[in-house]
Amino acid sequence: MTTYFLRALGKLLGTLLIASVLIFLILRVMPGDAATVALGINATPDALEAWREAHGTNSPLIAQYVTWMGGILHLDFGTSFVTGRALTPLILDRVQVTLIIVGLGMVLALLAAIPLGTLAAVKHRSPLGVGIAGASQIGVALPSFLVGVLLVGLFAVRLGWLPSGGWMPPAYDFSEFLRRVTLPVLALATVQTAVMTRYIRSAVLEVMREDFLRTARAGGSTWNRALVRHGLRNAAVPIVTVVGVQLASMLIGAVVIERVFVVPGIGSMLVDAVGQRDLQAVQGIVMVLVTIVVVLNIAVDLLYMVLDPRIRLRESS
Amino acid sequence: MSDMVPAVDVSGLCVRTRSRVLVDSVEFSIAPGERVGLIGESGSGKSLTSLAIMGLLPDNLTASGSVSIAGSPNVVGLTDKEMAPYRGRVASMVFQEPMTALDPLMRVGDQLAEVLRHGGNSEVSSSGTRSRSDLHQAVVPGLTEVGLPDPASAARAYPHQLSGGQRQRVMIAMALANEPALLVADEPTTALDVTVQAQVLDLMVRLVEERGAGLLFITHDLAVVSRVCERVLVMLGGNVVESGSITDVFGSPQHEYTRRLLAASDLETLDLGLPSTSAMPSVSVMPQEGEAPPIIRFTNVSKVYSRGRTQPPVQAMNAVSLDIYPGERFGIVGESGSGKTTALRMLTALDTPTSGTVEVKGLRLDLATKSQMAALRRNQQMVFQDPLGSLDPRMTIGRIVAEPLLALRIPKAERVQTVEEMLLAVGLPADTTARYPHQFSGGQRQRIAIARALVTQPSIVVADEPVSALDVSVRAQVLELLARLTTQRNLTLVMVSHDLAVVRHLCHRVAVMQNGTVVEVGTTQQVWDDPQHSYTKRLQASTPVMEIATQT
């Protein structure tokens, strides 16, 4: 088990190192000069050169990379080319907001999708099951921003129950945080519920055909009991994979929801930074996102081992 | 329970879909302690009958009629919840596939404890407050009884850590845990090696006898039925067409289908062109050693598979030397893990030996150039075990059989003609070409696979368990086809099988493999009549043979 963790840690560090090189290089070959963007097209060549000197963009690539990585190892992402402010507190603030919305959205989605998907599978021949499956099909096709706009139209504009947007950190005013976080989380969760219901339905349908459920019933279990005791855990293995993939794509795709609800998340920060050619900010944000996704993948692998002894015993032996 | 109350009493049992009747008015009764076999081909309704008794039919099928287990009121039509108390306690079941029948994520001991708990066993019923090790203690007697070598550690094991035979023993322990009046076994040993099959069958018979339980034993294998059961029911197309004691039914079968089934399973009556037992031993179709150089030669072939840094490597083959001569039908027999499949992989160059050499037609495979390899592959074709799995379901038969010709750049017109001739040669109508694999039966599919193998006019055919997935009645036909085609086309046939009986009737010579080594080579007649090695003797003794003389 220890060797497994060490290997996982090595994999994590290796992946991050490769990712950092790629991110760094891709941003360097992208067209657009940071100095020109920062100072405007009317800036004198002297001013541009001075800016480059000050921000280090005229030193050799290797040196730039080493400086950047050296900072990251101390959790310092440098300063923004555009605002001149330190990036680290900004990025951490923003990523927190996105993680809260995405995390709550997925938890809510799973709370709804696990019973719905299981029900849809168990009753797959009855109108109820067909109805759930059909509704989830439609839900998958809905873009989350459209759901967001509809939710705003209903709860903020027509009913006036909740604010239409904006953000409040939970540490300052928790009840206001709840009022502001509800709609964006609901918008994300609605679509994810549909997606997860579909996956859970097919995973449970698959497991329902397994011989060991029949064995459990032959041993005296009722159908429902056999499904709960043996079926759901077996169905969880493929679902964990999907949750990992969905979380990663939600994290990146959160920008849309952040825009609709005017939420200061990492996604909108990234889009702004790209627009402003703020290389330093872009590479810092992307690095943070990559780290989260890689850690998520490792968490998924570890969950497999918890769930499935075949993987656990193979990896640990 | 009084002896007057049958373990199970079935009358007028029907199973139907919305439009079709799959089991039609089946009637039988099994007395306590009686062992009854239910035989028939796939699709005859024998498995559905057993599932209907257990109340385990898939929910798109409905049962009607009456089933009484150990004097119970009719259980047909009970809801799942009403039926659950009978299952595992009054009637229980052992299934065919030991690999998939146990929950892979749960320890074996926990699965057995679950059954005990359903039976109201006090030792495990309050499991919520008991530790896992106590629970595993409670299941040890059951695991000991089925002969698991280390019951305490078996209880803590997950299914994938046990062999197929051990899992089937666990299944039997689970089935018998609550002393049921009726045990239903659906092909319980079909997936097991013959020597393991013999042990598991003996175990099952002994435990059922000790308990005085009734046994309903479902199988396609007549030899197994004659070994296990006292009475037999023959099913065909959803009906029981014949029933009676084993001696009566097998000795003087009344129904035409039973006669056919018996004839087909009795390979003795098959003439596959081998020198018969009564013929002069010196006059033989078999090519003699030394007459011609061997077409296939294994010299000291070893294969070691490494399994990562932490597990010891597996010696799949150990210094195997074999000579196979042109025109010979050569069998390689062994159980799982014996190295017979590895030998095939070496021969077909799908894998390379760790040491030693494989020569085909004088060409060392390890030194062959790409073009020599291509020529060799054309010359040496394969037939696989599972005819459905090895045919692309989205290709027409015409395209499947023509595919090897495409690689040879043969013009279309000629291709079409060759394919039609080949299909005729394997006994399929030429209009087969436009149809798809799923439209054919298992036996027909294997004919298609043979056609595909022979269409490039190879001189060597390698067959991996070609008949073990087929029904008995079809098996004989496919064996006949293989024998006829190899003789007509002067082919060399290398066949791998777990079934010594099949190899004995098809092949001239046989190599018996165990744990990666060849323990015995000789003419099939010698090896069968006078086995030298102790393992061969055991294999021969374990091979189920019909014990009743037929008078057809």
Identify the pLDDT of residue B289. 52
In a shared domain, residues B426 and B513: yes
Q: Are residues A182 and A96 in the same domain?
A: yes
Q: With the CA atoms of A31, A32, A35 and A41 taken in that order, what torsion angle do they form, in degrees rounded to the nearest 10?
A: 140
- Pair (B342, B451) in one structural domain: yes
Q: Let me know if residue B289 belongs to a domain.
A: no
Interface mutation target, options A7, A126, A217, A224, chain B, most CBs of B under 10 Å:
A217
Which of B95, B118, B161 is nearest residue A221 as measured by Cβ atoms?
B118
- If one counts the domains in chain A, the total is 2
Q: Give the pLDDT confidence score for residue B8 in this predicted structure.
A: 92
Look at residue B309 in the predicted model and tell me its pLDDT: 65
Which of A1-5, A89-93, B485-489 shows the lowest per-residue confidence on average (mean pLDDT)? A1-5
| Chain A residues touching chain B at CB-CB below 8 Å | 125, 210-212, 214-224, 229-230, 233-234, 307-310, 313, 317
Retrieve residue B503's tokens. 């190899």
Q: Is the dihedral of CA A64, A65, A70, A72 positive or negative?
A: positive
Same structural domain, B339 and B239: no
Residues A121 and A107 in one domain: yes
Q: Does B235 share its domain with B375? A: no
The residue range of the domain holding A9 is 2-87
CA distances from B17 to A217, B58, B61 (A): 22, 10, 5
Minimum Cα–Cα distance from B100: chain A residue: A211
What is the total count of domains within chain B? Answer: 2
Q: Å from B436 to nearest chain A CA? A: 26
B498, burial (CB in 10 Å: exposed 0-12, middle 13-18, buried 19+):
buried
- At which residue do the structure tokens 């004691």 appear? B245
Inter-residue contact B382 to B453 (CB < 8 Å): yes
Comparing CB atoms, the residue among A211, A308, A317 nearest residue B95 is A211
Q: HEC states along A68-103? A: HHHHHHCCCCCECCCCCCEHHHHHHHHHHHHHHHHH
| pLDDT score, position B125 | 52
Q: Which domain holds residue B219?
A: 8-100+180-192+211-265
Q: Which residue of B has its CA nearest to A309?
A: B105
**Mean pLDDT across chain B:** 85
- Residue B274: is its pLDDT beyond 70? no
Q: How far is residue B449's CA from residue B388's CA, in Å, rounded to a whole number? A: 9
pLDDT tens-digit map of A247-303: 998 888 888 888 888 889 898 899 888 888 888 888 899 999 999 999 998 888 888
Q: Which residues of B touch A (CB under 8 A)?
A: 54, 56, 59-60, 80-81, 84-85, 87-89, 92-93, 95, 97, 100-106, 111, 114-115, 118-119, 158, 160-161, 171, 174-175, 177-178, 310-311
Please judge whether B101 and A217 are an interchain contact, meaning their C-beta atoms are less than 8 angstroms apart: no
CA distance B374 to B363: 12
Residue A203 has pLDDT above 90, yes or no: yes
* Residue A139's CATH number: 1.10.3720.10
Instruction: Give dist(CA A129, CA A135) in Å, integer.
Output: 10
Which tokens go with B228? Answer: 């296990």
Q: Does A106 lie in the same domain as A58?
A: no
CA distance A209 to chain B (A): 10
Q: Are residues B234 and B335 in the same domain?
A: no
Same domain, B387 and B529: yes
B239, B265, B291 — which closes off a domain?
A: B265
CATH of the domain at B455: 3.40.50.300
Residue B273, domain member (yes or no): no
What is the Cα–Cα distance from B473 to B477, expressed in whole angstroms? 7
A contacts of B156 (beta carbons < 8 Å): none
| Among A87, A113, A147, residue at a domain's last position | A87
For residue A209, list chain B residues with Cβ-Cβ distance below 8 A. none
Considering the domain architecture, whether residues A27 and A175 belong to the same structural domain is answered as: no
Q: For residue B188, how many C-alpha atoms fall within 13 Å in the half-sphere facing its CB?
A: 35
Residues 6+ apart with CB under 8 A from B183: B91, B92, B93, B94, B175, B176, B204, B208, B213, B214, B215, B216
pLDDT of residue B551: 45
Q: What is the pLDDT of residue B122?
A: 57
Q: Are residue A227 and residue A298 in the same domain, yes or no?
A: yes
Q: Tell me, yes or no, whether A288 and A149 share the same domain.
A: yes
Specify the range with the lowest mean pLDDT, choosing from A170-174, A198-202, B112-116.
A170-174
Looking at residue B284, its pLDDT comes to: 40
Q: How far apart are CA B423 and CA B451, in angstroms?
A: 6
User: Cβ contacts (< 8 Å) between A210 and chain B: which residues?
Assistant: 100
ipTM surpassing 0.90: no
Same domain? For A75 and A113 the reply is: no
Query: What is the Cα gyration radius of chain A?
Result: 24
Task: Give the chain B residue nearest A223 (alpha carbons).
Answer: B80
Pair (B259, B378) in one structural domain: no
Examine the domain organization and report whether A62 and A186 are in the same domain: no
Per the CB < 8 A criterion, the answer to whether B514 and B340 are in contact is no
Q: How many residues does chain B have?
A: 552
Are B54 and A216 in contact (CB < 8 Å)? no
User: Would you state the pLDDT for residue B330?
Assistant: 94
- A83 and A111 together in one domain: no
A64 and A103 part of one domain: no
Is the residue at B279 inside a domain? no
Question: CB count, 10 Å around CB of A154?
Answer: 13
Residue where a domain terminates, one of B220, B238, B265: B265
Residues A21 and A81 in one domain: yes
In the prediction, which pLDDT does B124 show?
59
Does residue A70 sit in the same domain as residue A169?
no
Q: Answer yes or no: do B491 and B379 share one domain.
A: yes
